[in-house]
Amino acid sequence: MNRVTMAVTVLLLAAPGASRAAGFYLYEIGTPSVGLASAGYTTRAGDAETLFTNPAGMSLLEKHELLVGAQLLYGNFTFSPGPGTTPSGGNGGNAVGVLPGGSLFFVADVAPRVRVGLGVAQYFGSAVQYDPGWVGRYYGQKGMLIGVSFLPTASYKINDWISVGGGLNLMWGIKRATMAVNNILPSLADGQVETNGDTFGVGGNLGVLVEPVKGTRIGFTWLSQVYLPFSSTPSWTDLGPGLDAALRLTGLRDAKLDLGVTLPNRLMLGARQEIGPEWAVMADLGWESWSQFGEVEVSVNTANPTNLTTSIPYKNTWHFAAGAQWKAVPQWTFSGGFAFDSSMMNDADRTVFTPVGAAWRFSLGAQWMVSEAVQLGLANTFIVGGNLPLSQSRGPLAGTLEGQYSGTVMNMLAFNIRWLI
């Protein structure tokens, strides 16, 4: 599946958010929170997106509400090979480029203390594509791993100062990967192996929102783990006779591979404080259990392979965000924020499918209340990942890949429409 087809597929599947190569969980899904760098995730409760960020916040919405978001992501992730790289080839080009995305949320006021909602979003994913003949082709040429979530949700306002909410996270997972195979003999062109998997997983989303005094909110959310039991029988093309015979002898030629992953738990605590009628400040602190992720990559590393998979280790991460909103006039609200996410893996474990590292976010946004029923929003987040070194060696056929992704950055431009019904 090429990147254009992938992007169209993702948009058709309920317009989920664009995948990112610099991590797997993303905060940018086309909504107004893009303009806050995710600050206020647990406490802002300013629109229907709260059914995902903190479902308890639906209790603060006064009408039926529909929020539709769209965004464009541009990522610059170009590999610079180092002197230790053994395969010949180019640098692979920009592995990310431009990808579209978005989200959809609806909340209904069904009773004085009860709200129900449904959301569709893709907060999890990665997508990369390199030039076919690049130096890292034996580690990966193109790959996609995404989860599209359907989020039926409900909230209940216990009293004037505390609300609770929760729902299901029904996730459809898609995993695709293609890499070249070294056919050993210099006279033979590279072969190729492709894996494809689609599966389904279920998780939960719970939240609490407390407002002990008017203008002060404290929020807590738990987004549970989701297990996606991917599996695939590799599809081979242009294998040399020697390698083909070796794979058949060991039973790997037609083996069904376990490629399952466990999306981590996310815990987040936040606070929001109004400063007069015009200003509000907010901050959030989060933690994610990426050490349980269990990502598996496929490659052929020796002339007599006994295994086709390599497990990639990850580590738990933490997140901090802070931001502010300014209501300049009744019709206009401006926002800004910054955030930091720690790296989910050590430099020594980074791969061509997971060029991830620590990231800084810087965001600005504006919302315009066109009428009593319609609000338009525009927001932008700029993400700085810096230099990401890579050094991998998986055997004589895959060779050694050494270098770095230099000056990695991403930019997300989001537009959204909010209808009050």
**The dihedral sign for the CA sequence 88, 196, 314, 338:** positive
Q: Quote the pLDDT of residue 125.
A: 86
Q: What is the pTM of this model?
A: 0.91
**pLDDT tens digit sequence for 372-416:** 999 999 999 999 999 999 999 999 999 999 999 999 999 999 999
Q: Quote the pLDDT of residue 306.
A: 87
Structural tokens at position 300? 């052929």
Q: 6 pLDDT exceeds 90?
A: no
Q: 11 pLDDT exceeds 50?
A: no
Taking CA atoms, 388 is separated from 63, 73, 261, 384, in Å, by 46, 20, 24, 11
Q: Quote the pLDDT of residue 302.
A: 87
Q: Quote the pLDDT of residue 5.
A: 38
Q: Quote the pLDDT of residue 305.
A: 87
Q: Quote the pLDDT of residue 100.
A: 86
Q: Quote the pLDDT of residue 191.
A: 95
Give the residue, 82 or 276, on which the prediction is more confident: 82
What ranges do the domains of the chain cover? 3-420
Q: 171 pLDDT exceeds 50?
A: yes
Q: How many CB atoms lie within 10 A of CB 291?
A: 15
Q: How far apart are CA 374 and CA 330, in angstroms?
A: 14
Q: How far apart are CA 288 and CA 262, in angstroms?
A: 12
Contacts of 94 (CB under 8 A, 6+ apart): 75, 76, 77, 78
- pLDDT averaged over every residue in the chain: 92
Instruction: Convert 361-370 to b/e letters by CB count within 10 Å (16 or more is b).
Output: bebbbbbebe
**pLDDT tens digit sequence for 16-66:** 333 333 347 889 999 999 999 999 999 999 999 999 999 999 999 999 999
**pLDDT tens digit sequence for 235-287:** 999 999 999 999 999 999 999 999 999 999 999 999 999 998 899 999 999 99
Whole-number percent of the chain with pLDDT over 70: 95
Q: Quote the pLDDT of residue 17.
A: 36
CATH homologous superfamily of 3-420:
Outer membrane protein transport protein (OMPP1/FadL/TodX) (2.40.160.60)
Q: Quote the pLDDT of residue 152.
A: 98
Q: Quote the pLDDT of residue 184.
A: 85
Q: How many CB atoms lie within 10 A of CB 146?
A: 25
**pLDDT tens digit sequence for 342-381:** 999 999 999 999 999 999 999 999 999 999 999 999 999 9
When pLDDT is averaged across residues 114-138 and rounded to a whole number, the result is 94
Q: Quote the pLDDT of residue 20.
A: 34
**The dihedral sign for the CA sequence 340, 344, 348, 353:** negative
Q: How far apart are CA 139 and CA 369, in angstroms?
A: 50
